[in-house]
Amino acid sequence: MTNLSDAELDRELTTALHAGRHRVTLPRLIVHRRVRRATSHLTPEAVHSELVGELPSLSPATIYSTLELLDELGLVRRVSTPRGGTVYDPRVDDHHHLICRSCGRVQDFEAPVRMVAAEEHARELGFRPEHGELQLTGLCRTCAAEAGPLRR
């Protein structure tokens, strides 16, 4: 989450859009403000339902394309989940994710994971890594408690 003003957020996005030769539009500015102020991961549907009252002409397609563009510009991070959904993370610094396979909750977590070896091996295979993160899939605390004890 950021404490930047609307003007500062708009300036940040405008600079990034111009650098990438993209147009500055009101929907892009509004979506950027909302996502950068988020305290948790957001689905495109949640962003749309929160913003459509402010801008009734805002379509779900505009939300999806804007979030993809913000990810491309490095202003948010796209996180794909095993259930086929996508959430957007306002944190773009290095961190990892825990993903609940039951309820779909995505949670940030910090862990001392060395990605260097994986990235080096990827390069040996001709791949150009841009970003690495660890995603652990399982049951969140709530779903694990509801599932009961682990049976072996």
Q: Is the pLDDT of residue 118 over 80?
A: yes
Domain that holds residue 79: 1-92
What CATH number is attached to the domain comprising 39? Answer: 1.10.10.10
Same domain, 19 and 45: yes
Same domain, 87 and 14: yes
What percent of the chain has pLDDT above 70? Answer: 97
Question: b/e string for 109-136 if b means 16 or more Cβ within 10 A?
Answer: eeeeeeeeeebeeeeeeeeeeeeeeeee
Q: What is the pLDDT of residues 81-90, one digit of tens each?
A: 877 789 999 9
Q: Which of 62, 92, 122 is the last residue of a domain?
A: 92
Co-location of 14 and 73 in the same domain = yes
8 and 77: one domain? yes
Candidate ranges 38-52, 72-86, 135-149; pick with highest mean pLDDT: 38-52
Quickly state the pLDDT bin for 3 (edges 50, 70, 90): confident
Do 40 and 60 fall within a single domain? yes
| Residues 25-67 pLDDT 10s | 999 999 999 999 999 999 999 999 999 999 999 999 999 999 9
pLDDT for 152: 55
- My answer on whether 107 and 144 are in the same domain is yes
Can you spell out the DSSP letters for 25-68? -HHHHHHHHHHHT-SS-B-HHHHHHHHTTTSTT--HHHHHHHHH
Among residues 92, 112, 141, the one where a domain terminates is: 92
Q: Are residues 73 and 124 in the same domain?
A: no
What domain count does the chain have?
Answer: 2
**With 80 as the cut, is the pLDDT of residue 93 above it?**
yes
Strand order in the sheet with 96-100: 106-109, 96-100, 135-138
Helix (H) or strand (E) holding 71: helix 60-72
The reported pTM is 0.81
